[in-house]
Amino acid sequence: MPKRSDLKLTKRTVDALETDGKDTIFWDRELAGFGARVHATGRKTYVVQSRGPGGPKRVTLGRHGELSCEEARKQAALVIDRIKRGEDLSAAAPEAEPTVAGLAERFMRTHVERHLKPASASAYRTMLDKHVLPALGGMGLEEVCGAEVTALHHRLRETPARANAAVHLLSRMFTLAEAWELVPPGRNPCRTLRRYRTRKRERFLTPEEYRRLARALRWACAEGGIWPPAIAAIRLLALTGCRRGEILNLGWDDVDRTAGDLRLQDAKAGPRMVPLTRPVLRVLDAIPRSEDNPWVIAGQRPGKRLTGLHHYWRPIRERAGLHDVRIHDLRHSYASRALALGESLYTIGKLLGHASVATSARYAHLMREAEREAAVRVGGSIGAHVANGRTC
């Protein structure tokens, strides 16, 4: 039976209860058998323990915070009475300590799937299934310490960006675990880990490389071995600076020729318009349109859109001699060309659909280079008249 206690359980006293690292039950002095269980993780639940004709039984009533102390006290009195009368009241199974796998499922269900786009959710799921869960999934949250996180990070050292991404994902999970009171505050084991240093990859096409790309695209059309809608998609990416998903998710209903815009309904930073320039219109006019397929970039299955471009991009970039160029570099190159033509970071941010000018600031060094080149041209032009080659 529960030991006699001098503690009266109230919201204030239960809030203040602490444990020394192991599960502890604090019993109420007024209602024998009514207690508050403090788990090693900091979670607090209300429990009842009493003896009936069949022996002692313990029942978990609910979680502190979700169940008020006074309501728990009322329920406890009823449960104690039922136990003493010998009613068939099975003791509740002890609550299982939450694991990393359980936290991952809750994180995906209540946070990622509600707040992030499907592509981001898919990337998170892949990271969990391939790297995080095989290493840590079966561990309880209180078992995961800095050593386990360091081991996961080190295991992925050959791909530093992926290693950092895995730890970043795990850190976000533990931050929410604190908010959900699954772990005590300050229990995030990722906070002290030093991430690998990585450099942002910047690759911009030069005018000569653009010409080689154009020749490779014409070659792809003539050869006929590459799916024509994929070639059209690559041309649209180069001409608009759009993200790959924005072009692949483009429907014919989103092409507003009257207003002169592409309506991107599911862009990363929210719906936006992309101007329909003449080169873009020429590409769109050359795409065969099928009545039973609503997508601009049709897939090889009837009625479906194309879902990826890497398979088609590889032979085109090899033909162009652009072995280190990714599809996303076409977007960076678009921004680089805009800066070279004198456009401001604000304008480039609007063209690329950035959520803030701060996102466009990564191209600021290109703007300085463009300004320096302009200063050389302007200064040289004026210098031909003003500078006489001698000091005075």
User: What is the DSSP secondary-structure string of 263-286?
Assistant: EETT-TTS-EEEE--HHHHHHHHT
Of the candidates 361, 314, 232, the one whose C-alpha atom is nearest the C-alpha of residue 352 is 361
pLDDT at residue 327, as a whole number: 93
Give 3-state DSSP helix, strand, coil % of the chain, rounded to 5.
Answer: 50, 10, 40
The structure's pTM equals 0.59
* Cα Rg, the chain, nearest whole Å: 32
Closest to 149 measured CA to CA, from 167, 175, 162, 163: 167
What pLDDT does 90 receive? 54
E strand map for the chain: 24-27, 34-38, 44-52, 55-63, 255-256, 261-264, 272-275
**pLDDT for residue 19:** 81
Asked if 185 and 149 touch (Cβ cutoff 8 Å), the reply is no
pLDDT for residue 94: 47
Residues 6+ apart with CB under 8 A from 260: 275, 276
Task: Provide the pLDDT for residue 91.
Answer: 44
User: How far does CA 383 lie from the centroid of its chain?
Assistant: 53
Residues of the chain with pLDDT under 50: 91-94
Per residue in 343-373, is it b (16+ CB within 10 Å) or e — as a string?
Answer: bebeebbebbbbeeeeebeebeebbeebeee
